[in-house]
Structure 1
Amino acid sequence: MTVTHPFHALAGQQLEILFVKRRGSALVFVCACGESRSVTLPQEWTDRGGEPAGDRLAVEGLSALRALVDALVSRGGDLGGGGF
C-alpha cells in the first residue's frame, strides 16, 4: 500500500499491510514501518482511499467555513465588543 497523504511524513512510501481494522465507521490499515514498528493509517491517506486533496486547506472547505461564520455572526447580532 502507498501513503498518499501529501503532508504525511511517509508520503509516497510503500508499506506492508499487517492487518486491517475498523475504528468507528472508518477503515484503518496497520502497516509495518521499519523493524519492530508499525503505523496506523486511515484509508483516506492511502492509495486504497479516494484522491487526496493537493492543498492542506481546500477552497470548498474554506468557502463553507466562511458561510458558517457569516451565518453565526448575523444570528448573533452585537457580539458585545468582540473583535470583528
Structure 2
Amino acid sequence: MGSLVVTHPFHPLAGQRLVVLFTKRRAGSVVFVCASGVSRSVTLPQEWTDRAEEPAGHRLSAEGLSAARALVNALASRRIGDDGGGS
C-alpha cells in the first residue's frame, strides 16, 4: 500500500507521511486508513492527501460552474416560491 502525505492545511497531521494500511470506498469516494501512532489509525479522504487528483488549471471547471448554476437556480426558485417572505 505504501505511504502518503497529509496535505489538508488544517488537519492536525498536515505535512506528515503516514503508512497506508488499506483503502476503501465511502460514499463513492476513496478514503485511506493509515497508521497514526501506536495502535491508532486515521481515515483520510483522498482529496486531503498527496494522492489527490491534480486540480484543474482554472478556478472552476465546466462541471463546477454547471453545479454552481444549478444551485443558484434552485435557491432562486425557492425564494420566488415564498409567500411574501422576502426582504
Q: Identity of counterpart residues, as a percentage? A: 65
TM-score with structure 2 setting the length: 0.63
Query: In structure 2, how many angstroms separate the alpha carbons of the residues matched to 1:23 and 1:74?
Result: 32
Equivalent position of 2:75 in the other structure: 72
Count of residues in Structure 1 that have an aligned counterpart in Structure 2: 77
Give the TM-score taking structure 1 as reference length.
0.64
- Where do 5+ consecutive residues of structure 2 fail to align? none
Cα distance in 1 for residues equivalent to 2:81 and 2:46: 44
User: How much is the aligned-residue C-alpha RMSD, in angstroms?
Assistant: 3.1
Matches within 5 A, 1:23-42: 23-42=26-45
Letter in 2 for 1:37: R
Is the 2:79–2:86 Cα contact (8 Å) retained in structure 1?
no
Greater relative contact order: 1 or 2 (C-alpha under 8 angstroms, separation 6 or more)?
1
Shift of 1:7: 1.4
- What runs of 5+ residues in structure 1 fail to find an aligned partner? 53-58
Following the alignment from structure 1 to structure 2, what is the Cα–Cα distance between the partners of residues 20 and 74?
Answer: 41
Greater share of strand residues, 1 or 2?
A: 2
Secondary structure of 1:34's match? coil
